[in-house]
Structure 1
Amino acid sequence: MKTKLLMTAALAALTALPMQAQPASAEDKEVRVGFMNGFPGGRGIFGRDQRDGFLLALDHLGGKLGGLPAKVIIGDTQHKPDVGRQVMDKFIKKDKVHFVVGITWSNVLAAVYKQALKSKTFLISSNAGWSAMDGKFCNPYFFRSSWNNDATPEAMGKALQDENLKSVYLLSANYQAGKDMLTGYLRYYKGKVAGRTLYKLGNSDWQAELSQIRAAKPSAIFAFAPGGMGISLAKQFNAAGLNKKMKLYTVFAVDWMTLKAYGKAAIGTFHTSFWDADSKNPANVRFKRDHAKKYKRAGSMFGVQGYDAALLIDLGIRGANGNLEDHDSIRDAMRTANINSPRGSFIYNVNHSPIQNYYKREVVADEKGNAKIVTRETVFRGHKDAYYTQCKMKW
């Protein structure tokens, strides 16, 4: 693979004197992509999987994007908005990137998006689903290869409404994305809410929350607990014996990426996702096979998001016949979403957010008693986010 890959520590590379943005030359024959995400600690698994999916797509594209040699500069936001602003500043002013990809957390996206869009640099969120970017802050230079924050919990709300559960306890992280999750869930679930708790991001001791839930006696728990938070929650939920009294339904917690860490604690839980990992779609089969071969672990929905971001850039540049300054042609091509995605086909709404399917998945025991994920049903087909009518873009 001919790709140039630069790994940069976020702060070490950001101590230079203030820089003034200089536009990339129209003669550029190299595509520069700034990939920014948080990598440290347990929460870093999301950024790592998005990065690895992106780089796998580059392998499949022969190390080029749109037929041009690709240079990928990776910046670590450390999950912090202020560090994210520094990384974005470097990407734009020093590295003169043509595209920025990545970002797991909505608060980081909210901190950095203006820098990219003001400089007319294409920004593709390969995870963060901050709803404002789909509504009043939609922009011709912003795309998603993931989802709006509300959409996956909307699918879960619809699934639980269809199950006609008597009551559900709501558990989510106390930051913007966590609040979006509850908004989305409640848009479709109309049953009784037995209680709700917004916990501190990074929580690992669930004794107080589980005590409240036990007292509320719900039929089920709906939880947004990504990364290590979800792992500790599931294990303590089972240890407290609550798995024998109620079901645990999650979003952005259980996935093939985290399943090994959950182990048997995940068995019996349910979640929703835009990715049907069981699909026999040739692009999905190839993604899963080559991801396992390259990284020695199963691919995940987060890897799919990174993978598709690279395919979108490739599509855009090909649409502009390799002219990196022809932003209108790049944008028009990306809007077609004409890529071979592992998720199957999707289209873009007016706000550049995917219109796509959502699936209900269950964790079951395989023949050896180990956890595996199976797709149970399609909850939504061609689902649109709830904010696109607030977007003023016309195309």
Structure 2
Amino acid sequence: MKLQFKTAVCAAALTLSPLWAMAQQEPLKVGFIATLSGPSAALGQDMYDGFMLGIEQAGGKLGGREVEVLREDDQLKPDVAVQTVNRFIERDQVDLVGGVTFSNVMMAIAKPLVDSDTTFIGMNAGPAPLAGDRCAPNFYFASYQNDQQAEGVGKYATDQGYKNVYLMAPNYQAGKDAVGGFKRFFKGNIAGEVYTAVNQPDYSAEIAQLQAAAPDAVYVFYPGGMGINFIKQFRQAGLLGQIPLLSVSSFDGSTLPALKETALGAISGSFWGPDFDNKANQEFVQAFEKKYDRIPSQYAAQAYDAARLVDSALQKTAGDTKDKEAFRKALAQADFESVRGNFTFNKNGFPILDMFVFEVAKDAQGRVSHKTLSSALPGHPDSYVGTCPL
């Protein structure tokens, strides 16, 4: 009987060992970095709020492990971001780094992340080089590759029969990716291609130039405060409603609270909308609105998915991140219910996504939001994965 009792105890211990291991682990340290100040602070704040809601929805833990989030503002300054990430890695010894709002910041921190082999979970910025020849096995983007949304809008512009489209974006990596993606799928002529300074407040001169070009439509990429300033000035010039306005990451949940009716009728491309009717999204939107008293933006949705992604991977590794190969293999499986519906990683760590087109319109409660119009590019991979050596 003693032998049988000992065997039973051992069997029970083996069964409970993953749970026991989780209980013995130190809190999961996440170095969260985003733009949390200046004209684009709303983007980073939505990312943080979405990520923290994801942790809350998982019972305050990820993979059964307590979580310590170290939040830092990169101030949209690449040098500040590099210093912060080095501190995360060397002093704080984080288990993973996540976040990043802007692509110029992402490009700056890519090298220290790769050199240290630190696992990174992207929650917004998805610059083209990191999807192509500079892809890395420690990078997983729970967001998108910059060009993907723009490619969907380029396809939409072609389907609408627009012959001449005027393009505008800020002069940095994501702006160039957003223009390049649009041009890749638009089959008409480019009436003008203008790059403006990052966080430029006044677009009156550029708007006068585009008006003189008399395009069939205008396509812009102006995230955060840039989008607010641009569309207000576009409407003041009497052009909104006269010239179709197409965009990505310009008129969304992060900017619509400030724009309200000003943006009605604008077209936007994305892989997620607050009106998606899948269960995971309905639960997310309801919980976000209850907690933060506002409609979530795409930035919040991506970061919420990031928390669910990490949780799903840690469930498979019993909370362990030290075996990096096992943890990343679990991340690659993306075994979670995404708010966007379909979510599958490609070999470069970027997702294959269904791209949609939305109109800025009032929802059932009379609030200005996004209304899904159509599917543009279902099951769409990024355009750089073919050059990724992984």
User: TM-score scaled to structure 1, two decimals?
Assistant: 0.90
Structure 1 counterpart of 2:351: 354
Is 1:142 matched up with 2:162? no
Is 1:305 matched up with 2:283? no
Alpha-carbon distance in structure 1 between the residues aligned to 2:267 and 2:83: 38
Alpha-carbon distance in structure 2 between the residues aligned to 1:203 and 1:76: 21
CA RMSD of aligned residues (A): 1.4
Deviations 1:55-100 (A, max 9, x none): 0000011111111111111111111000001110111111110110
Alpha-carbon distance in structure 1 between the residues aligned to 2:189 and 2:206: 19
Tell me the amino acid that sits aligned with residue 327 of structure 1. Answer: K
Structure 2 counterpart of 1:98: 95
Tell me the amino acid that sits aligned with residue 268 of structure 2. Answer: H
Alpha-carbon distance in structure 1 between the residues aligned to 2:369 and 2:289: 16
Tell me the amino acid that sits aligned with residue 322 of structure 1. Answer: G
Task: Give the 5 Å matches for 1:171-320.
Answer: 171-320=168-317
Bigger radius of gyration among the two: 2
Alpha-carbon distance in structure 2 between the residues aligned to 1:62 and 1:305: 19
Structure 1 counterpart of 2:381: 384
Is 1:35 matched up with 2:5? no
Alpha-carbon distance in structure 2 between the residues aligned to 1:111 and 1:270: 32
Residues 1:378 and 1:367: Cα distance change in structure 2 (over 3 Å)? closer
Secondary structure of the structure 1 residue equivalent to 2:187: coil
Residues 113 and 120, structure 2, Cα contact 8 Å, conserved in 1: yes
Moved more, 113-122 or 375-384: 113-122
Residues 1:206 and 1:30: Cα distance change in structure 2 (over 3 Å)? same
- Name the % identity: 39
Moved more, 215-224 or 274-283: 274-283
Alpha-carbon distance in structure 2 between the residues aligned to 1:263 and 1:340: 31
Instruction: Give the total of aligned pairs.
Output: 367
- CA apart distance, 1:276: 3.0
Structure 2 counterpart of 1:164: 161
- CA apart distance, 1:245: 2.6
Is 1:86 matched up with 2:77? no
More helix by share: 2
Secondary structure of the structure 1 residue equivalent to 2:92: coil
- CA apart distance, 1:369: 7.0
Tell me the amino acid that sits aligned with residue 35 of structure 2. Answer: G
Runs of 5+ unmatched residues, structure 1: 1-26
Residues 264 and 370, structure 1, Cα contact 8 Å, conserved in 2: no
Alpha-carbon distance in structure 2 between the residues aligned to 1:157 and 1:57: 32
Alpha-carbon distance in structure 2 between the residues aligned to 1:365 and 1:291: 19
Secondary structure of the structure 1 residue equivalent to 2:134: coil
Tell me the amino acid that sits aligned with residue 74 of structure 2. Answer: T
Structure 1 counterpart of 2:71: 74
Alpha-carbon distance in structure 1 between the residues aligned to 2:346 and 2:210: 39
Alpha-carbon distance in structure 1 between the residues aligned to 2:149 and 2:77: 24
Tell me the amino acid that sits aligned with residue 112 of structure 2. Answer: Q
- CA apart distance, 1:220: 0.8
Secondary structure of the structure 1 residue equivalent to 2:146: coil
Secondary structure of the structure 1 residue equivalent to 2:358: strand
Residues 316 and 329, structure 1, Cα contact 8 Å, conserved in 2: no
Alpha-carbon distance in structure 1 between the residues aligned to 2:82 and 2:314: 26
Tell me the amino acid that sits aligned with residue 345 of structure 1. Answer: N
Deviations 1:93-146 (A, max 9, x none): 111101100001111111111212222210111011111111111111001011
- CA apart distance, 1:50: 0.6
User: TM-score scaled to structure 2, two decimals?
Assistant: 0.91
Alpha-carbon distance in structure 1 between the residues aligned to 2:347 and 2:28: 26
Deviations 1:156-179 (A, max 9, x none): 000001111121101111111111
Tell me the amino acid that sits aligned with residue 274 of structure 1. Answer: F
Tell me the amino acid that sits aligned with residue 378 of structure 1. Answer: S
Residues 333 and 345, structure 2, Cα contact 8 Å, conserved in 1: yes
Runs of at least 4 residues off by over 6 Å: none
Secondary structure of the structure 2 residue equivalent to 1:275: coil
- CA apart distance, 1:368: 8.6
Alpha-carbon distance in structure 1 between the residues aligned to 2:253 and 2:377: 21
Residues 116 and 123, structure 1, Cα contact 8 Å, conserved in 2: yes
Structure 1 counterpart of 2:119: 122
Alpha-carbon distance in structure 2 between the residues aligned to 1:238 and 1:136: 41
Residues 350 and 382, structure 2, Cα contact 8 Å, conserved in 1: yes
Match of 1:335 among 332, 336, 353: 332
Residues 313 and 334, structure 2, Cα contact 8 Å, conserved in 1: no
Secondary structure of the structure 2 residue equivalent to 1:161: helix
